[in-house]
Each structure stands twice: as structure tokens, then as C-alpha cells.
Amino acid sequence: MSRDPVITWSPSVTLVPTRACFNACGYCSFRRPPAPGELAGGWLGDGLEDGAAQALMAARPEALEVLLLTGELPPGSSGRPLWFGRLRRLSELALAAGRLPHTNAGPLSLREMACLGRFNPSLGLMLEGLGPAYDALHRQAPSKQLAVRLAQLEQAGRLGIPFTTGLLLGVGESAAQRRDALELIALFQQRWGHIQEVILQPWRPDGAAAAPLAPATVNELLTTIAEARWILPPEVHLQLPPNLWPADRLVEALEAGIDDLGGIDTGDVINPAYPQTSTVHLSGWLERHGWHLRPRLCVHRRWIPWLSPPLRHRAETMAQQLKAAG
């Protein structure tokens, strides 16, 4: 093995302020349609009041990252300020609980992104992909238009916010379209340097039980991982969600270029049929194959100096504690 054998993951707890979403992506089983009152400014949320959020964080003391995942309200809707205020409040609660928030809330206005960037050491937004297969799946999802997503990568770069993006793979796109999408991300990284990780997420069908990835699909995705490692600058981490990938082929994915397994909570709220593997089990298994699994913060070390002084101080202290714990 010629590369660094360390594989990182982020111990996380997921908070979902609302599943109400004005988009309707063709693959989504997470959303619920917004109620008319929510669009008109009456916050309904999904029961995640301050006390409930604090209880969820307290129940997972090992989580250093608080992943905020939410459905979206339309830009300009009278309900949006309340929705946004809730994201800000939950970010503050995460910091107050000694954790670091990482928010994935869809496209944000310049003002919204700048505000959340003061509380979140990193933000996330999937590029998803480009080509007709994505256009068909996103026909009723204005937030998922490619131009909107690219403008978000640009805006985050201008603001200097460490950023996570990624591709949803296996929805009918071609290998060339995957390469084109990776090359676009590489261009943003060359311009701004803020892309800390790219998630290569195999699309998995929802349902009561997990559907295994076909061996031919795994082979195709391994090629994409290797191409991503070649196309993207070396500082960009390549992330694969381990619960969406066959365990007996994980080593091949690492050898192809994956070096991060992302935020791992006790379950997966987006793909609930795909249970998370125990990281104790995963770590033992990887050690036997010559790899070392290590926890990290939601912001990777290289980007900690980018943060505002209070966030930087917090992240540096937590990173030192992680290092001391081995």
C-alpha cells in the first residue's frame, strides 16, 4: 500500500428540524409536502423544539458533529425566515453543547450562508450530477437545477466557508457525465480552495429492506472513485457512506481512493433501510486489512485556520483532544 492508511469518519448526531420541502426529487422518501400554513409563515416544524434537540445530543455524547438536515422552504416565502431562524438556533444549541454544527439546508442566499458560516465550521450541498437523468429526477425540484447548485459552490468559495459537496451516482448518468461533474467541482477547488470533501454516494432504492448493489455496479463505481481521485486535487477528501456499499468490497473502494467514511450516526435518516455498521466492528475489520479508522471533526484539519477566531479556537481544542485520545 503506497498511500496513507488512515481512513477518517465523523462521529455525528443528526437533527432534522423539518421534513417539509417544496422540492419533490424523484428519489426522495425523506420529504413531506409543506402545509399551506408553513409556506405562509406559520412554523410547524416536526416537533424538534430546543429541549428535544438537546436531549438527542445528550443521548449521543460521543458525537462531535451535529448534522443539521432539513427540507426546504421556497426562497422569498413568508415562512422562510422562521425556518432559517430555527437552523441558526439549532446551530447555536450545538455549539452550546460543546459540538460543531454542519448544516445541509439546500441553496442559501448570500446573507443566509454568511450568517450560518459564523456558527458552522463547514456547510454542505450535494451537486448531485449533471445530464438528462438528473434533469428528469429534478423536474419538480427548483433547488436542484445545476446552475443553482454551481452558484452555491461559488458563493461558499467567495465567503471562504469550508464546504462538502458530492454526487449521487447510479441514477442513469453516463461515465462521461460523472467525469464532467467531477471536473466542474475541481474547477471550483482550483479557484477557491474551499472544497474539503466530495461524497460519492451510490443511489440506493428505498423500501423496507436494503437492496444489495450489483457486482457490476460496484465495479463501475470503483472506476468512478479512481477517476475522482485523479480529477480532484489531492487535498479534497473522497467520502463513501459505508452503509450504502457492500462491506466485503470496502477495501477495494479504499484502494481506489476513498479516504473518508463521512458522518456516522446510529442510523441514516435519508436511507433508513440501510443500517449503519458499528464503527467498533468497522475499525477492527479495517485494522485486519492494514487500514486505520480515526475520528475527525466535521471540518477537516487543513481548513481549521479558515475559521473565525471563536470557531477556530473551538475546533483547534477539539482536534487536539482527538489527537491526544489517539
Which residues, other chains included, contact 107 with Cβ-Cβ below 8 Å and sequence gap of 6+?
A: 72, 75, 125, 143, 148, 149, 151, 152
Q: Least CB distance from residue 262 to ligand SF4, whole Å? A: 17
Size of the site for ligand SF4 (CB under 6 A): 12
Residue closer to ligand SF4, measured from CB, 102 or 314: 102
Amino acid at 296: R
Supply the angle between the helices 80-96 and 50-58 in degrees, to the nearest 10: 40
Beta strands in 203-324 (DSSP E): 237-239, 260-264, 292-295
Beta carbon of residue 297, minimum distance to ligand SF4 (angstroms, whole number): 25
Nearer to ligand SF4, 27 or 285 (CB): 27
Say how many Å lie between the first and final Cα of the chain, rounded: 22
Site string (85-124) toward ligand SF4, x via CB under 6 A: ---------------------x------------------
Handedness of CA 112, 116, 117, 121 (dihedral sign): negative
Q: Which three cell numbers stand for residue 305?
A: 485556520
Buried b / exposed e across 159-177, counting CB within 10 Å, b at 16+? Answer: bebbbbbbbbbbbebeeeb
Closest approach of ligand SF4 to the CB of residue 134, in Å? 12
Contact status: 301 vs ligand SF4 (CB under 6 A): no
CB of 98 to ligand SF4, least distance (A): 29
Positions in 13-42 near ligand SF4 (CB under 6 A): 21, 23-25, 28, 30-31
Grid coordinates standing for 84? 432559517
- Residues between 136 and 165 that touch ligand SF4 (CB under 6 A): 141, 143
Specify the residue, 22 or 306, whose C-beta has the smaller distance to ligand SF4: 22
Smallest distance from the beta carbon of 18 to ligand SF4, in angstroms? 10
Of positions 71, 79, 162, 262, contacts ligand SF4 by CB under 6 A? 71
By the criterion CB under 6 A, which residues form the site for ligand SF4? 21, 23-25, 28, 30-31, 71-72, 106, 141, 143
